[in-house]
Structure 1
Amino acid sequence: MSSRITEARAFLVDIAVETERTDAIQSFEKQETVFVEVKTSDGLTGLGYSYTIGTGGRAVLSMLRDHLVPRLIGLDADRIEAVWFALYSATRATTTGAITSLALAAVDTAMWDIGAQRAGLPLWRLAGGSRRDVPLYDTEGGWLHLPTETLVEGALASKAAGLSGVKLKIGKPTGSEDLERLRAVREAVGSGFDIMVDANQSMTAAEAIRRARLFDGLDLAWIEEPLPADDIEGHRRLVASTATPIAVGESMYSASQFREYLVRGAAGIVQVDVARVGGITPWLKVAHLAETHNVDVCPHFLMELHVSLAAAVPNGRYVEHIPQLRAITRTQMEIVDGRALAPETIGLGIDWDEDAISDRTVA
């Protein structure tokens, strides 16, 4: 007899940032974390989540409470794909869009939590089990407001800790300012250590092409989000103009958007974000699609969840180290010799602190 969903609820938790975070277009002021809790007729409980970086959280919560959560009751809890598609089909008027995808992700991660519990497996094994450990790079030491000396110190500390690379924000008023900062870090860490750069969609295609050429010789691992995410043609032109891989994905909200980038040769690295693409179900589709194009996956943010997904697929190249759940979890992501280890705990593998979550619940 199949297990049915008997209860579901959505709620919003605010988590303060651990450090000042700035890029070329915005500041990360807080994480609005949208949770969905799902209970089944055979006694299982799944807890899923998604997020925004300071705005829109209540809109996502409203989508869940008013439209999606009520539709869950009575659905077969063992049919994750069917649940995802039923909710997606009920929101045709607002797909593809950020609010809907973020809401779907909160439900879908809860369903995968239940699915992993039922299977008696950790998420990384259930989703594919390619290998348990994944290389790690750091973002926390690379924010745009930080002086060059601090960037150098952070990069050297990451290298000493065994991490494989660091991400530095770019988008200063002039390319020469960006170049000076990047060159200082490269000279400090030497060769054989990855430096990624992130422009946060701040450039025109012409400026991105110019700066990519300016950075020649720095051996950058990738240039991330140089252009607005809907400028596929601009990204294609940029890819054709530089040997440095171009990374996209954190601002893309459906698998079909990734398909267009990959088919047109407009991306060298895929940074699919499980919350923004609509959950684990579409995340895996994007990862496997990227594999068919011989493209690596380096997911954006959400390291506590992405460590399991990057470990699940053969083309999961990196996990981004940027802690944000420590205020509401009892234990942290395990790091050994600079590599992230997917948790062996059954389910999503995130050790939630229910009291801390309750204290920070705002809606």
Structure 2
Amino acid sequence: MSQGRITNRPYETAFSISRIDAWACRAPIKGGSVATSFGIMRDRPAVFVRIEDDQGWFGWGEIFANWPAAGAEHRVNLLMDDIAEIVLGKLWQTPEEMFWSLEKKTQIRAIQCGEQGPFAHVIAGLDITAWDLVSRRAELPLAKAINANAHQHVPVYASGIQIGAAQAEVPKARKAGFDAFKVKVGFGADDANRLVELSHAMKATERLFADANQAWSFDGARSFLQATRSVSLGWMEEPLRVDDAPQNWAELAALGVPLAGGENMAGKSEFADALASGSYSFLQPDVAKWGGITGCHEVARDIVEAGRTYCPHFLGGGIGLAASAHLLAAIGGSGLLEVDFNANILRAGFSSVEESINGGNWAIGSEPGIGITELPAAVLATVSLVRSCCV
């Protein structure tokens, strides 16, 4: 996999960061919690980041903070106390240069404290800010800054629907304009029967996906797929742990249900191994967990070139979702954009995000960058920690 594939850009790419601001946010959850097979979210966290140069140009990004429960404030402190000093005041020729430099310079720190994930999350968020800044300065939507021939619309699907609530939630998502739905499974023995029942209510033009969030052993995953043979699943996401034996993934893939994964992969080599295995039909890097725009663009290109489908994973706030939409539009292909259907003011509070979704598609629009210029009041009301750092 090669670096720096975005070439011959007809706009200025160099930038220097003079100020970094970061906000840890925690929004209450309507109904009390959001359940996955491995844990329960009792509030909705997010970390939003803003950078600014000495000319007043700025860019927004988002850092993954869903897990652990204390992750949001930790990521803000990690950014300000460990990483800000490496980026402030330095002239970067491109966002890619900053990304790969930060990956290299923080490796020992991350190993020393066993926190490779959190360091990767922070670097990913900073990379998004850099891309937003240079594309905003060029007066181009981020998708067009990456690829002049980027798509104007990308299809979306509703996610985050717990299988126990799916009979009630899928009709709501359908009414909201979605025609593809992903339900969370891996909670208990009734999940297979519930999925079969739900499939009977699907329209011929609709698609149904399932996500186990790494819940099962090989035997459990195989049993579930065999029990749901009558369901025309678009994909089965993370039926096994991401680090389970490759032969187990291969045996599941041989059952005929397309497999998906990637949100818990980090680094080009892990995605290369996943592609080489042949087990994954859909690969789902997350711009806020690893890679930002730079890394995810490279692996997304490899995914498409290998004949697989790139479908960005995202379960967070409005900034990361917008960045994911722009990257998918730039890559093209037949992928879908994941849109969490659970109520979350950290997503819905950005009016431009909600207005972008219509008729089962996300419209990229003509606003420069990712199309977000400030944190709305509803989001600022959820802030639990804010820190700034300047040259």
What TM-score do the two structures reach when normalised by structure 1?
A: 0.90
State the match for 2:226 in structure 1: 213
State the match for 2:204 in structure 1: 191
Change (3 A) 1:83 1:130: same
Q: How many residues align?
A: 356
Equivalent residues in 2 for 1:1-363 (5 A)? 3-18=15-30, 20-53=33-66, 54-93=69-108, 94=110, 97-128=116-147, 129-140=149-160, 142-146=161-165, 151-174=166-189, 177-234=190-247, 236-301=249-314, 302-315=320-333, 317-322=335-340, 324=344, 325-326=346-347, 328-333=349-354, 334-350=356-372, 352-363=374-385
Q: CA deviation at 1:208?
A: 1.0
Gap regions ≥5 residues in structure 1: none
SS at structure 1 position matched to 2:155: strand
Q: CA deviation at 1:281?
A: 0.7
SS at structure 2 position matched to 1:12: strand
Counterpart CA distance in 2 for 1:161 and 1:32 is 24
Change (3 A) 1:201 1:25: same
SS at structure 2 position matched to 1:52: coil
Residues 195-252 of structure 1: CA distance to partner in whole angstroms, max 9, x if unpaired? 1001010101222122112211211000011111122515532444221111101122
Ranked by relative contact order (alpha carbons within 8 Å, sequence separation 6 or more), the top structure is: 2
Gap regions ≥5 residues in structure 2: 1-11, 315-319, 386-391
Bigger shift: residues 268-277 or 43-52 = 43-52
- Pairwise CA RMSD of aligned residues? 2.3
- Look up the equivalent residue of 2:133 and give its one-letter code: I
State the match for 2:6 in structure 1: none
Work out whether residues 49 and 60 of structure 2, in 8 Å CA contact, stay in contact via their aligned partners in 1.
Answer: yes
Counterpart CA distance in 1 for 2:92 and 2:283 is 30
Q: CA deviation at 1:104?
A: 0.4
Q: CA deviation at 1:108?
A: 0.7
Q: CA deviation at 1:305?
A: 2.7
Work out whether residues 96 and 294 of structure 2, in 8 Å CA contact, stay in contact via their aligned partners in 1.
Answer: yes
Work out whether residues 297 and 317 of structure 1, in 8 Å CA contact, stay in contact via their aligned partners in 2.
Answer: yes
Q: CA deviation at 1:156?
A: 3.4
Work out whether residues 330 and 352 of structure 1, in 8 Å CA contact, stay in contact via their aligned partners in 2.
Answer: no
Change (3 A) 1:269 1:46: same
Q: CA deviation at 1:23?
A: 2.0
State the match for 2:7 in structure 1: none
What TM-score do the two structures reach when normalised by structure 2?
A: 0.84
Counterpart CA distance in 2 for 1:188 and 1:25 is 28
Work out whether residues 184 and 211 of structure 2, in 8 Å CA contact, stay in contact via their aligned partners in 1.
Answer: yes
Q: CA deviation at 1:114?
A: 0.6
Bigger shift: residues 290-299 or 121-130 = 121-130
Change (3 A) 1:190 1:264: same
Work out whether residues 108 and 279 of structure 1, in 8 Å CA contact, stay in contact via their aligned partners in 2.
Answer: yes
- Look up the equivalent residue of 2:186 and give its one-letter code: G
SS at structure 2 position matched to 1:35: strand
Change (3 A) 1:343 1:55: farther
- Look up the equivalent residue of 2:382 and give its one-letter code: R
